Amino acid sequence: MRRYTLTAILIVCALITFAQKGTVTGTLVDSVNTKRTLNYATVSVFKGADTVLSTYRLSDDKGVFKINNLDLGVKYRLVINAWMYNIVRKEITIEAGQPNLNLGTIALSEKTNTLNEVVIQSERPPVIVRKDTIEFNAESFKTLPSAVVEDMLKKLPGVSIDNDGNITVNGKTVSKILVDGKEFFGGDQQIATKNLPANIIDKIQVTDDRDAKRRDPDILAANTPQVINLKLKKAIKSGAFGKLYAGAGIKDLYEAGGIMNFFRDTTQVSVLAYGNNANKPGFNMSDVMRIGGFQRTGVNSVMINSEGAFSLNGISFGGSMSGGVQKSAGAGANFNTLTKKGTKINAKYFFGQANNITERISDIEQTYDSNNRLFTNSNSNQDNNNYTHNFGGRIEAKLDSLTQLTIEPSISLGKTRNYSSILTSNRDSNNQKISDGNRSSNVKGLSTEYNLSTNLWKDFKKAGRSLNISLNVSKKENDNDDLNLNNTYLFNPISSTTLDQLRTTNIRNFNTYLSLNYSEPLNKKLTLGIVTNGNYIDNENALSTFYKNPANQAYDIAVPSFTETVMQSGFKTNTRITLKWKINQSFNIQPGIVFNTIDLENKFLNNPQINQDYTFFAPQLTIKYKDLNLSYTPSFREADISYLQPVPNNTDDLFKQNGNPYLKPSKTHQINLNVYKYDTKRTLSYNAYLGGSIQNDGVIMSKVIFLNGRQESTPVNANGIWQFHANGNLSKDFKNNPKFQYNLNTGFWSNFNRGVVLVNNERSHSNILQFGPRIGGRINLNDKIEFSETYSVTFNNSKYDSNFYQNLSYTSQNSDSELIIRFPKKIVWETTYRLQYDNQKINGYNNTQQIWNAAVTLLFMKNDRLQLKASVNDILNTNLRNYAYITANALNTIRTNNLGRHGLLTLTYNIQNFGGKVGGRETMFRF
C-alpha cells in the first residue's frame, strides 16, 4: 500500500489544482508606446476589500499575465505594479457564464513625480522587479510565529533551498546574504537564514553578485551568482540567540545541551555543549557549522550518514557513523570579530568524546575457483573510544580594494582506545566448514595534526586579470599500538595456529603545497590562464612487530621479518596552461596543456631504495555553450605510501594483506558533461550530469584464496579501469497560492564501474551497473499540514568477462515519508516512516526494514519559545540495520545493531525565539 501513497497525493494535488474555476488574462503595455510591453510586472489579487493577498503572477517576457483558479462570482481587486510606472487597480468578478475573462490591453503610465505618490501599505505588491533587482515584500508571505528567514525564503517564487541549506534563486547560486547591506556573523549565509526570525524582515532584495562579474567578465547571466539583502524592520545592533534543552527516557536514556550566540555590532561569541547516550548528534550539522562557528574557521572534511550522524574535521558530534550505539559529549567556543580596518579575526576550540558499541554480522560470498565458492561469516563486537581536541583560527584581511589575504592555522589532537573481538567462519559450496578464526585486538593510538593555509587573491583594475597564490603546510603524526591475539583452526587437514603479538605503527607526513593561478585577458576574445603548483613531501611509515616473551610476559621479542620503515621524500609539480576563446556571449572554448612531474625517493631500512621519476604531458579541454558544460582533464597520481610497505599485515591470519613497493603512478582521463536550466516563467528546474574516468595503472587488489579459506591480497597496477556516473533531476514548484504550496520532483541516477578482478591468477573485467529512478513531492497547506514522500528503486548488477566468476544481481527499494500536523493551536504532531527492502537474502534475517518514528510537541510562551517534545523512536523495534553491496567478485551483506525502540521527553527553550520552525527535517531533534 505504501508504494501508492505518493500517487494518491499527486492525484489529489491535480484535482485541487485543475478543478473548474475562473481565469483572468491580460497584456500590460506602456501608455505612450503601446508596442512596448511591460515584462515581469506584478499582478496581485485581493478579495474585495480584504487586505490579505490571495495570489499573484508576474507578466511574462511579452507582457502577458494569466491567473488561474479564481473563484466564480467573487469580487476581486487586481493591483498592478511595474517598476517606474504608476499603480493600476481593477475590480473584476468572474461569472460562471464567462469563466475565462480577458481584460485585453492594460496601459500603465510612467511615473513623473514619486514625491506625491500614495502608497497603500496593505497593497504592497509581493514582488517588484526592477532593472537589476528582485524585491519581495515579506508581509505577503505568511509564516509561523516561530519561523526563521529560511522558512520565509522557501515560500518565495523561484527560491529553492536544498537539505544542506544552500540557496538558489531562479536557478542561480546565492553567494552572499547581507543584513541591511552588511555582512552578518562574518558573512556566514545560514547564520542569518536559520536564526533571524522571519517577523523582523521587511523586504528581501536579490541582485547579481558584482564581484563575480568583475572577476569573470565573460560569465553567463544564467551562471551569475546572486546576493540576497535582508532589509529589517528595525536594525539589530546586539543580542543573543540559541537554545537550551534537556531530556530523558526509557532504557536510562538522556540528552542535554545548549548552543548560544552573543553579538554586539561586529563581534560574535558562540558556545556549545552537549551530551547524550541516545545514539544521536547533540545538534544538527547546520547548528554546529553556523551557530557553533565551524564554518567561519574552515571545514576540511565532512562525513555524514543517513541516520543523521556527522563529523567535521575528524570530530564526531554524536551518532554512530557506521552502525552501533554511541554515547557522546562535546563542548566548544568560537570568537569572531571585524576590526575597524576591515580585518576578520576568528578563533575556535572544540573537544569531542565518543564511545561506540558495535555488534556487526557480515556475510561475503565470492568465487575462489571455477567450481567452488567461499562463504565467509564474521561476527564482531567492538568498543571504540575517541577523544579529540581541535584548535583553529582564521584571519581575513583586505589589504586594499583589490587584494585579500587569508591565513588559517589549525591544530588537532586525538586519542583512541579501541577493543574488538571477531569470530570468523569459512564454508565451501557444499556448506562444509573449512576454517574458523578467533581474533581480538586492543588498539591505543595518538594523533596530532598541524596545518597552516594561506591565500592571497589579487584583482587588477583591468577586468579579468587576477592572481591567486596559495600556500599550505601540514604535518601529521599517527602512532598506534595494537595488541593482537589470533587463533586459527583449519579443518582439511586439521591444524591450528596461535599468534600473540604487539604491532606498532608510527606514521609521519609532512607536506608543503604552493599554488599560483594567473588569468590575463589578451583581448576581448582571448584570455590566457596559467595554473602551476609544487608539492614537497616527506613521509615515513615505520612498522615494528614484537612477539610475547613467555619468560616475562612482555612483548619484547623483535620480529625482523615483520619490521620495516618506508621513507618517502621528493617533489611533484603540476602546470596547466589554457587559452579561453570567447566566440560569443554564449559560447567559449578553452583548450590547454598539462605538464606533470613526479620525483620521489623511497628508502627502506631492510630493502633496496626505489626511485619514482616520471614526466607526463597531455592536453585538456573545456567547452561552455549556454547552460551546457563539457570538460576533459587528465591527472596523474603516485600510489599511497601505505601500499608501498613491503611487510604484510598479519593481524588477521585468515586474511593477510601485502604491500608492493613497485607500484607505478596511475594515469586518469576525466570527462564531465553537465547542463542546468531554470525556467523562471514555469518555476521549473532541470539538470543532467554525465561524468566518468578511464584509468591506467590504477591500483587493484590481486587476491589468492586457498582451499582452507585463507586469503591473501597484494596491490598491483591494472589498466582499463572505467568509472562512469550519470544523473538527472526535474523539479517543479507551485508557490503562487500562499496558503497552498507544493513541489514535485523526479530523477534518476546510475553508476557503471568496469574494474579488474584478479583471483587465483584468473583475470577478468567486472562490469558493475547500478541505476534507478526516484520520485518525490512535498505539500504545505498553510503551515497547518505538511507531507512529503520520496520513493526510489535501485537495480544492482555485476557481470564478468570470465566464466570463472558468477554474475551477481539484486534490487533494492526505498521509501521515505514525513507528515507534520500543526493542529490544534500550540500542538505539533509529526511522524516519519522509512521502508528499505532488497531481494538479496540474508541467512535467517528479514531483509525488509521498517523504521517508524513519531513525536508530539507542545508549544508555550510568546512565539513558541518553550517546547516540550515527547518522541518515540523505532516504534516497530527494528534493532538491526541491513546493507548489501557488490565489490569486485563478492556480494557483501552487513547487519549492525541499533538502539531499538525507545522514547524521550525533551524540554527546549529557544533564546529570544531565534530558533527554527517546529517539525521537519531541519529541527534540532531528529527522531
299-318 residue pLDDT tens:
666 666 656 666 666 666 66
Average pLDDT over all residues of the chain: 84
pLDDT for 248? 95
In the predicted model, is pLDDT for residue 261 greater than 70?
yes
481-493 residue pLDDT tens:
999 999 999 998 8
User: Cβ(118)–Cβ(101) under 8 Å?
Assistant: no
Residues 545-551 have a mean pLDDT of 91
pTM to 2 decimal places = 0.75
pLDDT for 115? 46
Pairing verdict, β 711-718 and 698-705: antiparallel
CA torsion angle for 164, 167, 171, 172 (degrees, to 10)? -120
pLDDT for 1? 45
Q: Is 764 left (phi over 0), alpha (psi -120 to 50) or beta?
A: beta
- To which residue does cell 557488490 refer? 886
Q: In the numeric block, which cell numbers belong to residue 157?
A: 517564487
Other CB atoms within 10 Å distance of the CB of residue 549: 11
pLDDT for 287? 66
In the predicted model, is pLDDT for residue 371 greater than 90?
no
pLDDT for 284? 66
Residue 15 φ then ψ, to 5°: -65, -40
CA-closest candidate to residue 426, choices 436, 411, 438, 418: 436
Residue 705 φ then ψ, to 5°: -115, 120
CA-closest candidate to residue 806, choices 686, 889, 910, 730: 889
Pairing verdict, β 182-183 and 201-208: unpaired
pLDDT for 840? 67
Direct distance between the N- and C-terminal alpha carbons of the chain, in angstroms, rounded to an integer? 24
pLDDT for 923? 38
In the predicted model, is pLDDT for residue 413 greater than 50?
yes
CA distances from 862 to 456, 877, 912 (A): 48, 37, 10
Cis peptide, bond prior to residue 824, ω within 30 of zero: yes
Query: Range with the lowest mean pLDDT among 129-138, 332-341, 355-364, 682-691?
Result: 129-138
pLDDT for 159? 81
In the predicted model, is pLDDT for residue 421 greater than 80?
yes
- To which residue does cell 595554473 refer? 531
311-337 residue pLDDT tens:
666 666 666 666 788 898 988 888 888
Residues 514-541 have a mean pLDDT of 94
Pairing verdict, β 698-705 and 740-759: parallel
The C-alpha atoms of residue 602 and residue 565 are separated, in whole angstroms, by 10
Query: Range with the lowest mean pLDDT among 20-24, 408-412, 719-723, 814-818?
Result: 20-24
Residues 390-411 have a mean pLDDT of 91
Amino acid occupying residue 156:
L
Other CB atoms within 10 Å distance of the CB of residue 595: 14
Residues 469-482 have a mean pLDDT of 96
Other CB atoms within 10 Å distance of the CB of residue 864: 21
pLDDT for 376? 92
Residues 810-825 have a mean pLDDT of 92
Residues 18-26 have a mean pLDDT of 78
In the predicted model, is pLDDT for residue 514 greater than 80?
yes
Q: In the numeric block, which cell numbers belong to residue 555?
A: 612483548
pLDDT over 90 for what percent of the chain?
41
pLDDT for 15? 46
Of residues 247 and 300, more confidence is placed in 247
Where residue 236 falls among pLDDT bands split at 50, 70, 90?
A: low
In the predicted model, is pLDDT for residue 122 greater than 80?
no
The C-alpha atoms of residue 222 and residue 601 are separated, in whole angstroms, by 48
25-76 residue pLDDT tens:
999 999 988 888 988 888 888 887 776 678 888 888 788 998 888 888 889 9
Residues 361-384 have a mean pLDDT of 86
Residues 608-634 have a mean pLDDT of 90
In the predicted model, is pLDDT for residue 118 greater than 60?
no
Where residue 297 falls among pLDDT bands split at 50, 70, 90?
A: low
Of residues 471 and 117, more confidence is placed in 471
Cis peptide, bond prior to residue 493, ω within 30 of zero: yes
Where residue 592 falls among pLDDT bands split at 50, 70, 90?
A: very high
Residues 751-777 have a mean pLDDT of 91
Of residues 472 and 216, more confidence is placed in 472
